[in-house]
Structures are given as structure tokens and as C-alpha cells.
Amino acid sequence: MPPLPTTSNDTILEVKDLKTYFFLEKSTVRSVDGVNLSLGRKKTLGLVGESGCGKSVLSMSIMRLIPSPPGKIVDGQINLYRRDSSEVVDIAQLDPRGAEMRRIRGGEIAIVFQEPMMSLNPLYTIGNQIAEVVELHQKLSHKDALDRALEMLTKVQISAPKQRLHEYPHQLSGGMRQRVMIALALSCNPSILIADEPTTALDVTVQSQILDLMNELQEDVGASIIIITHNLGVVSQMADQVAVMYLGKIVEFAETRELYHEPLHPYTKGLLNSVPVLGRKHQQLEPIKGMVPLPTEIIPGCAFAPRCPHAMKICHEKQPVLREVRPGHQTACWLYEDA
Ligand SMILES: Nc1ncnc2c1ncn2[C@@H]1O[C@H](COP(=O)(O)OP(=O)(O)O)[C@@H](O)[C@H]1O
Ligand code: SF4
Ligand SMILES: [Mg+2]
């Protein structure tokens, strides 16, 4: 197994060699294929990669929301270090429908999706939806839960929060719905918030407001955040550390500043060169050639080799492993291995 980011008291979540596959009739989709990752307490981790790299399957694995069949966690650990650090639970071993997992889902780890309409129930008012979750996790009366819902709507700076309590999802704009989702997610004081492309469906101004809001709320609530995005601008605005994912694996991991200024992996360099990034001077935009391959075939070497401008013979033959090549900076690439 490749070396891991060191686990300290400051670690809240540690993913070890996680594999989540989908077993289809004619093929096996290796969506998450040996992911190693750690998330610090009160830290924000950015998870980036092109569409189809396995980011959502990874987050759904952590939430134990992978549809099964055909999906299955076939290997690895998802260790959640409880608040007082004295207890650790391997989420990968829990029954997805069991009481423990239901307590964790929403109560300790909450998720915000790209499209809030999919997660909000069109038939319930905003107030009742938040109250229901609070009642379930915090054993409050309906009245107290509604008070908590109002408090949360105020916290996410939604306009006319009292009025929103009685409105239905379709009456709100996209940006407001995303604020409601964040209110819902944070209503039970989770220790981890996973935000999967939370602003992708929103226009640029609203995007920026939502990201600012999440930054502010993190200070307030003290949660750790995993922000998933294909947008490197979002990551630079939010994250303390960044993990770059390619075809089911983490290929680079570093502090955000370091990653932006000293990217090592050719895939990361390609991502940075393909979008305008604030603060990067003299940028020549150049898309990465080719596409993410389907995760159905077993690739003997580096999965990025067919698209990599630096590919060598060994790259097509043997898989590079994720390892630290500078202090706190890990990458999986043969360019940084001594032959
Ligand atoms: N329910 C499913 N059945 C089969 N394949 C799936 C399923 N969900 C996701 N996949 C596949 O897993 C891969 C990773 O998907 P996903 O995690 O959604 O990517 P990302 O979020 O990085 O865009 C894709 O090739 C996708 O087609
Ligand atoms: S291992 Fe080889 S093919 Fe893969 S990213 Fe590094 S140089 Fe390119
Ligand atoms: Mg996704």
C-alpha cells in the first residue's frame, strides 16, 4: 500500500486504499480504485479532477449511499475519528441502512449536492424539511426544531427567512435553494461537510457568494469540509489542501499554495493550464488532450499515460504509487522516482 498522509490527532477522516466498483452485466466499473486521503479537523480539502474521475462515487461511498447492487465497496477503510478522538469507526464496515450509519449520515457527516432540487422534497415546506432532520438527529420537539430551522436560514443569510420557512422549494431561486441545502446540512452540527460541486449549477456571482458563506460558516460551526469540484478557481478560494483525482485514484496531494505554485503531476499541470486561475501570471491556456478513459479496463501502467506529454516506457508498464516527494507534497508519477 502506498504511504499515507500521517494520521495525527488533528485527523478527522482517513480513507485508506478504498475501492468502490460497479458490477455490471458485461463489465466492472472501477470508479474508486485505491484512494488514500486524509482530512484534518476544521480543514477544507479540495478534491479536483475532470468529470468521470470518481469524485462523486468517492463522496457517496463515504456517505454509504452507493446503490447496491450494482455498486459495492470491495476493499479499504473509511475511518471516522470521533470528536473527542478517543473513538474511531470504520464507515466501510457499517450496514448502510443500520442505526449507526443513519446517525452518522446527516448527524456527523452531511452532504450538499450540485442540484438541490434533487435533494429537497417538493411537497414539504422548507421549514418542515429542516425541522424533520433536526428532530431526527437532535431529539427536539417540532416547535424547537422549527426555531432551529429559522436560526439556520438566518445563518445562511437567506432573504426573509421567516417567510421561507413556509415556502416550497419551487418558490425559491437556485441560489436560495443551495443556501437551504447548506442550512439543512449544517443544522445538526456535523463534524464533516461534503460539498459535491455545490456551485456548479449557479451563475458566477451567486457561486462566489455561496463559497464565501461556506467559508464563514466553517469558522462558526467548526466543521471540516471536503469541497468537490472540477473548477480550480473554487478550490483556490476555499481549500487548505488539495487532492487531485484521476481515474479512481489520487495522483497528487499538497497544501493549496504549494499545489498552485509547484504542481508536480503532469495531470495537475494540465488542469492548471486549461483554466484561468486567479494569481497565476502569463498563463497560456491549453486543454489536456484526449478524454478520461472509462474505468472498465485494467490499465497496467499509469492511467494518464495515453494523454501525458512526458510518458516514458515504464509509464505504460508499471503503476506509479502515491508518495511524498517534497515535504507534505505527494504525487504518483514516474518522473519523480529514482529508477
Ligand atoms: N451507478 C453507477 N453504475 C455504473 N457506473 C457508475 C455509477 N455511478 C458512477 N459510475 C461511473 O463511475 C465513474 C465515476 O463517476 P463519478 O464519481 O460520478 O465521476 P465525477 O463525480 O468525478 O464526475 C464514471 O465512469 C461513471 O460512469
Ligand atoms: S507516470 Fe508517466 S505517464 Fe504518468 S503522469 Fe507521470 S510521466 Fe506521465
Ligand atoms: Mg460528480
Whether 142 maps to a domain, the answer reads: no
Q: What secondary structure letter does DSSP report for 292?
A: P
Q: Which ligand is nearest to the CA of 270?
A: 2
- Please give the span between the terminal C-alpha atoms of the chain, in angstroms, as a whole number: 19
pTM, two decimal places: 0.91
Cβ of 270 below 6 Å from ligand 2: no
AA letter at 258:
E
**What is the model's pLDDT at position 19?**
98
DSSP states of 42-103 as a string? T-EEEEE--TTSSHHHHHHHHTT---TTTEEEEEEEEEEE-TTSS-EEEGGGS-TTSHHHHH
Q: Which ligand is nearest to the CA of 113?
A: 3
**What is the model's pLDDT at position 279?**
63
Residue 232 CB neighbour total at 10 angstroms: 25
Q: What secondary structure letter does DSSP report for 269?
A: H
Question: How many angstroms is it from 194 CA to the middle of ligand 3?
Answer: 12
Q: Which ligand is nearest to the CA of 249?
A: 1
Please say whether the beta carbons of 330 and 324 come within 8 A. Answer: yes
* Secondary structure of 139-171 as H, E, C letters: CCCHHHHHHHHHHHHHHCCCCCHHHHCCCCHHH
Cβ of 56 below 6 Å from ligand 1: yes
Q: Please give the Cα distance from 228 to 233 (Å, whole number).
A: 12
Cβ of 29 below 6 Å from ligand 1: yes
List, run by run, the mean pLDDT of 10-residue segments along the chain (339 residues).
Answer: 54 96 95 95 94 94 95 97 82 96 91 78 93 87 93 90 94 89 87 88 78 84 90 85 96 95 95 75 75 84 95 96 95 88
Whether 282 maps to a domain, the answer reads: yes
Whether 164 maps to a domain, the answer reads: no
Contacting residues for 311 by C-beta, under 8 A, at least 6 apart: 302, 304, 305
Please say whether the beta carbons of 151 and 220 come within 8 A. Answer: no
Q: Residue 68 has which C-alpha cell?
A: 447496491
Locate the ligand 2 atom nearest the alpha carbon of residue 302 and give its number: 4
Whether 161 maps to a domain, the answer reads: no
**What is the model's pLDDT at position 46?**
95
Kind and range of the H or E element at 32?
strand 28-40
Locate the ligand 1 atom nearest the alpha carbon of residue 59 and give its number: 17
Question: How many angstroms is it from 75 CA to the middle of ligand 2?
Answer: 25
Please say whether the beta carbons of 36 and 47 come within 8 A. Answer: no
Expressed as residue numbers, the domain containing 239 is: 11-108+190-336
**What is the model's pLDDT at position 236?**
85
Structural domains of the chain, count: 1
Whether 154 maps to a domain, the answer reads: no
* CATH code, 216: 3.40.50.300
Q: b/e map of 56-79 (b: 16 or more CB within 10 Å)?
A: bbbbbbbbbebeeeebebeebebb
